[in-house]
Amino acid sequence: MIKEKFLEKSLFLVALSSISVLALIAFFIFEQGVPLIWKAGPFSFLLGERWFPSQGSFGIFPMIVGSFWVTIGALIIGVPLGVACAIFLCELTPAAVSAAFRPMIQLLAAIPSVIFGFWGLIVLVPLIRNYLGGPGLSVLAGSLVLGIMILPTIISISEDSLRALPRTLKEGALSLGATHWQTIWRVLLPAARSGIVASIILGMGRAIGETMAMIMVLGNAVQMPDSILSSTRTLTTNIGIEMGYATGDHRQALFATGVVLFFIIMGLNTLALVISGRRRS
Flag whether 214 is in a domain.
yes
Q: How confident is the model at residue 2 (pLDDT cuts 50, 70, 90)?
A: confident
Judged against a pLDDT cut of 80, whether residue 277 lies above it is answered with no
Flag whether 204 is in a domain.
yes
Flag whether 225 is in a domain.
yes
Flag whether 127 is in a domain.
yes
Q: How confident is the model at residue 4 (pLDDT cuts 50, 70, 90)?
A: confident
Flag whether 50 is in a domain.
no
Number of domains in the chain: 1
Contact 253, 157 (CB under 8 A): no
The pLDDT value recorded for residue 158 is 92
Judged against a pLDDT cut of 60, whether residue 91 lies above it is answered with yes
Higher pLDDT, 176 or 256: 256
The pLDDT value recorded for residue 266 is 84
pLDDT in tens, 107-165: 888 889 999 999 999 999 999 999 998 888 999 999 999 999 999 999 999 999 999 89
Judged against a pLDDT cut of 80, whether residue 271 lies above it is answered with no
Q: Which CATH number is 211's domain given?
A: 1.10.3720.10
The pLDDT value recorded for residue 281 is 55
Classify 56 in phi/psi space as left (phi over 0), alpha (psi -120 to 50) or beta.
left
Judged against a pLDDT cut of 80, whether residue 274 lies above it is answered with no
Alpha carbons 78 and 146: distance in angstroms, whole number: 8
Flag whether 26 is in a domain.
no
Judged against a pLDDT cut of 60, whether residue 279 lies above it is answered with no
Flag whether 193 is in a domain.
yes
Judged against a pLDDT cut of 70, whether residue 96 lies above it is answered with yes
Judged against a pLDDT cut of 90, whether residue 75 lies above it is answered with yes
Q: From the CB of residue 94, how many other CB atoms can be counted at a distance below 10 Å?
A: 8
Reported as type and span, the H/E element at residue 58 is strand 57-58
Alpha carbons 39 and 48: distance in angstroms, whole number: 14
Flag whether 158 is in a domain.
yes
The pLDDT value recorded for residue 267 is 84
Q: Reduce the DSSP state of residue 195 to 3 states and report it.
A: helix
Instruction: Calculate the alpha carbon distances from 211 to 42, 142, 191, 217, 234 in Å.
Output: 24, 11, 35, 10, 8
Q: How confident is the model at residue 280 (pLDDT cuts 50, 70, 90)?
A: low
Range of the domain at 96: 61-280
List the one residue out of 158, 195, 186 whose CA is nearest residue 84. Answer: 158
pLDDT in tens, 181-223: 999 999 999 999 888 988 898 888 888 888 999 999 999 888 8
Q: What are phi and psi of 132, to 5 degrees?
A: -115, -15
